[in-house]
Amino acid sequence: MNWTVLKSLNEIYETGKTKKKISLIDNPDVRHLIKNTKELGEFKDDIVKLEGFDTLYQMKFLLNYNNYLNFLKSNNLLKPQTRFHESDINVLMDLDDRMKNRELEVIRDQIISNEETVRGVSQMFFRDEKYLEGKLSLVGAVKQILQIESLANDKDQQYLYVLGCKAPERIVLCENLDFLKRPTLPRANNIELWYAGGKNIAKLDHIDARGLPIYYSGDWDYDGLKIFEAVKQKLPEIKLLIPNGLPREISTTNHLSLWKNTYLSGLDKNLFVGAAEKLITRLIENDQWIIEESNDLLRMLGLR
């Protein structure tokens, strides 16, 4: 649901009606309230509230709307052309909180020094390297919150992001940025974290693990494990960490990395044996995946 729809629902709650707009009529949640549950109705050129809408709105929308409104206002992002999706606003709010807590300080400095690209930042925070393409207002909001003047516009960044510690005992290469956003735990346990940028692993040809044991942490879905196969070719010594997070249903999480209908989804059977083979088989059978950030990093490393 985007901000214009959220504003319209709030207008209905406050005044009893709002003007019909294509974006509103085409929204599946609004259509559901009109056609199925009848909390909204159509009258001439307006959408009007019916019995039960106020209670529904207070339970499902009001708190989030006020939080979004306050955030957008306080960051000078509330403009007539604002079209952010609700999920985008949540990402921006999370970035803002982490900037205020200084959790993103190291990452932000590396983004600047590495002359990071729009695609790279999109991969870091939106889980899709193409998501920010063409979204100038959203890119501007990200730069504003991260206090970054500019981002490069080429399609690949060649720098490795590193969350260092004083006396590293092991390295974990992460598919996603999430673990690097939380520096306290890895640093307290002498874990150095690397982020190469999802599939953008060409830079691994030029790195040195300095003789430290190195491990791979990622999403346990088809794409994540294919990335591990590619990483293994560049870093033969790297070991795959077995996840301990709860599996999620692919069909209910709108996840786009789908298993193939073959043994181990066509993955290299020599790389996935024992516990890995059993887990992949179970995930395929149940049409599930495990998101990297849901795992306990220390447990995966056998440190607790």
| b/e 128-141 (16+ beta carbons within 10 angstroms → b) | ebebbeebeebbeb
269 shares a domain with 208: yes
63 shares a domain with 93: no
pLDDT at position 193 is 96
Range with the largest mean pLDDT of 32-36, 124-128, 198-202: 32-36
On the question of pLDDT at 150 being above 60, the answer is yes
- The tens digit of pLDDT for each residue in 68-91 reads 999 999 999 998 778 899 999 999
Q: Is residue 57 part of a domain?
A: yes
58 shares a domain with 21: yes
Q: Is residue 18 part of a domain?
A: yes
pLDDT averaged over the chain?
A: 92
27 shares a domain with 119: no
Name the more confident of 40 and 126: 40
Euclidean distance between CA atoms 18 and 75, whole angstroms? 27
Name the more confident of 80 and 52: 52
208 shares a domain with 102: no
Domain boundary among 53, 74, 95: 74
Euclidean distance between CA atoms 304 and 302, whole angstroms? 6
On the question of pLDDT at 100 being above 70, the answer is yes
Name the more confident of 155 and 116: 116
Q: Is residue 152 part of a domain?
A: no
- The tens digit of pLDDT for each residue in 132-145 reads 988 989 999 999 99
Q: Are 39 and 60 in contact (CB under 8 A)?
A: no
Residue 156 is given by DSSP the state: -
Collapse the DSSP code of 66 into the 3-class scheme (helix H, G, I; strand E, B; otherwise coil) and give the result: helix
Collapse the DSSP code of 183 into the 3-class scheme (helix H, G, I; strand E, B; otherwise coil) and give the result: coil
| pLDDT above 90: percentage of residues in the chain | 72
Q: H or E stretch including 288?
A: strand 288-289
Q: Is residue 131 part of a domain?
A: yes
pLDDT at position 157 is 55
pLDDT at position 286 is 94
Helix 53-60 crosses helix 62-74 at what angle (to 10 degrees)?
A: 50
- The tens digit of pLDDT for each residue in 263-291 reads 999 999 999 999 999 999 999 999 999 99
70 shares a domain with 45: yes
pLDDT at position 282 is 96
124 shares a domain with 93: yes
Q: Is residue 80 part of a domain?
A: no
Q: H or E stretch including 139?
A: helix 136-146
Euclidean distance between CA atoms 54 and 13, whole angstroms? 6
Q: Is residue 248 part of a domain?
A: yes
- The tens digit of pLDDT for each residue in 212-251 reads 999 999 999 999 999 999 999 999 999 999 999 999 998 8
Nearest alpha-carbon partner for 75 in 175, 1, 144? 144
- Long-range contacts: 60-63, Cβ < 8 Å, 24+? 61/6, 61/9, 61/10, 61/13, 62/10, 62/13
221 shares a domain with 130: no
Q: Which domain holds residue 285?
A: 161-300
pLDDT at position 9 is 96
Name the more confident of 32 and 304: 32
66 shares a domain with 10: yes
pLDDT at position 154 is 53
Domain boundary among 74, 106, 134: 74
- The tens digit of pLDDT for each residue in 151-187 reads 876 555 567 899 999 999 999 999 988 899 888 999 9
The alpha carbons of the chain give a radius of gyration, in whole angstroms, of: 22
Q: Are 185 and 297 in contact (CB under 8 A)?
A: yes
220 shares a domain with 180: yes
190 shares a domain with 286: yes
What's the number of domains the chain is made of?
3
Q: Are 193 and 176 in contact (CB under 8 A)?
A: no
Cα–Cα separations (whole angstroms), residue 46 to 27, 52, 78? 15, 18, 24
Q: Is residue 60 part of a domain?
A: yes
Chain centre to alpha carbon of residue 207: 26
CB half-sphere exposure, 37, CA atoms < 13 A: 14
End-to-end CA distance of the chain: 41
103 shares a domain with 135: yes
CB half-sphere exposure, 303, CA atoms < 13 A: 14
Domain boundary among 146, 169, 191: 146
3-state secondary structure 236-283: CCCEECCCCCCCEECCCCCCCCCCCCCHHHHCCCCCCCCHHHHHHHHH
Q: How many CB atoms lie within 10 A of CB 109?
A: 10
Q: Is residue 91 part of a domain?
A: yes
